[in-house]
C-alpha cells in the first residue's frame, strides 16, 4: 500500500490514486480491538470511490479530502469520519456509534437504519434521510428531501432548513425537529408540542454538531400512534 510520509507519528496519509480502497479498508480494520497503529488517517484523492472507511471498529479519526461515493462510513463503530466534500447514497448507513461529518451535501438514504452515533451534514440531504433510523442522531444544516425519517423508530432528526413531502411516514418513536417549512407529513406523523426538554435536546445536538442555530426556532413532529394496532373498522382497507 502506498502511503505518503506521515506528518506525525500518529497520522498516516493514504493516497487513493496509488492505493486501492480494499487496501485502505483492510488497514483500518486491522486497528480494531485496540491494535497498535496510527490513531489518525488522512485520505487523499477519493475521487468519488464507493465504500470508503466502512465497518470501522476503533477509536480513530479519518479525514477524507474530497467527494465520496456510495456507503461511505457505513457500519461505523467508535471512529470519527469527516468528509471534506459531498457524499453519495447511503452515507453512514447502519451507523453504530462514533461520528460522521459531511462538510458538503449528501444524496439519498443518509444515515439509513442507523443504531447510534451522530451524523452531521453541513449542507443539504436528498430524499429518505434517516429512513428506519433506530437510535442514530442526524443533524442537517440545510434541508432534506421527501420521505425523510420513513419508518423511523428511535433517535432524532434535526433539520435546520426545510423538509420535503411525506416527512415521517409510518413513524414510530423517533423525534423530528424542523426549523423551516414542511411540504407535507406522512401517514401517522403529526406536529407535537415543543416543550423545554425538547428545546434542550435540540440545543445539545446543535452544539455537538458545531451548527449555530437557535433551538427555540424548531418545531417537533412525531407519531400519532394510530398505526400501532390493527383496527377492525379498517379491515376493508387491507
Q: Is residue 196 part of a domain?
A: yes
Confidence of residue 233 (pLDDT cuts 50, 70, 90): confident
Q: Is residue 190 part of a domain?
A: yes
Mean pLDDT over 38-65 rounds to 97
pTM, entire model: 0.93
**What are 67-126's pLDDT values in tens digits?**
999 999 999 999 999 999 999 999 999 999 999 999 999 999 999 999 999 999 999 999
CATH number of the CATH domain containing 128: 2.160.20.60
| Number of structural domains found in the chain | 1
Q: Is residue 5 part of a domain?
A: no
pLDDT score, position 93: 98
Cα–Cα dist 144/123, whole Å? 9
Sign of CA dihedral 157, 162, 168, 169: negative
**Could you tell me the residue range of the domain that residue 71 belongs to?**
42-237
Q: Is residue 24 part of a domain?
A: no
Q: Is residue 110 part of a domain?
A: yes
Amino acid at each position: 500500500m502506498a502511503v505518503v510520509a506521515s506528518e506525525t507519528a500518529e497520522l498516516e496519509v493514504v493516497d487513493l490514486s496509488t492505493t486501492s480502497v480494499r487496501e485502505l479498508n483492510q488497514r483500518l480494520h486491522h486497528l480494531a480491538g485496540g491494535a497498535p497503529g496510527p490513531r489518525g488517517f488522512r485520505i487523499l484523492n477519493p475521487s468519488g470511490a464507493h465504500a470508503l472507511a466502512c465497518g470501522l471498529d476503533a477509536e480513530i479519526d479519518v479525514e477524507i479530502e474530497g467527494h465520496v461515493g456510495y456507503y461511505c462510513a457505513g457500519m461505523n463503530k467508535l471512529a470519527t469520519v469527516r468528509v471534506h466534500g459531498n457524499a453519495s447514497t447511503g452515507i453512514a448507513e447502519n451507523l453504530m456509534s462514533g461520528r460522521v461529518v459531511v462538510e458538503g451535501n449528501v444524496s439519498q438514504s443518509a444515515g439509513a437504519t442507523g443504531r447510534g452515533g451522530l451524523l452531521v451534514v453541513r449542507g443539504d440531504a436528498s430524499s429518505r434521510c434517516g429512513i428506519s433510523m433506530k437510535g442514530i442522531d442526524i443533524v442537517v444544516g440545510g434541508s432534506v428531501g421527501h420521505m425523510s425519517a420513513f419508518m423511523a423508530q428511535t433517535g432524532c432528526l434535526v433539520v435546520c432548513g426545510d423538509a420535503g413531502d411525506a416527512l415521517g411516514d409510518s413513524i414510530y418513536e423517533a423525534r423530528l425537529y424542523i426549523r423551516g417549512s414542511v411540504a407535507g407529513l406522512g401517514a401517522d406523523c403529526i406536529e407535537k408540542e415543543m416543550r423545554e426538554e425538547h428545546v434542550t435536546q435540540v440545543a445539545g445536538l446543535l452544539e455537538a454538531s458545531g451548527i449555530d442555530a437557535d433551538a427555540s426556532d424548531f418545531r417537533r413532529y412525531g407519531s400519532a400512534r394510530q398505526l400501532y394496532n390493527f383496527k377492525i373498522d379498517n379491515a376493508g382497507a387491507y
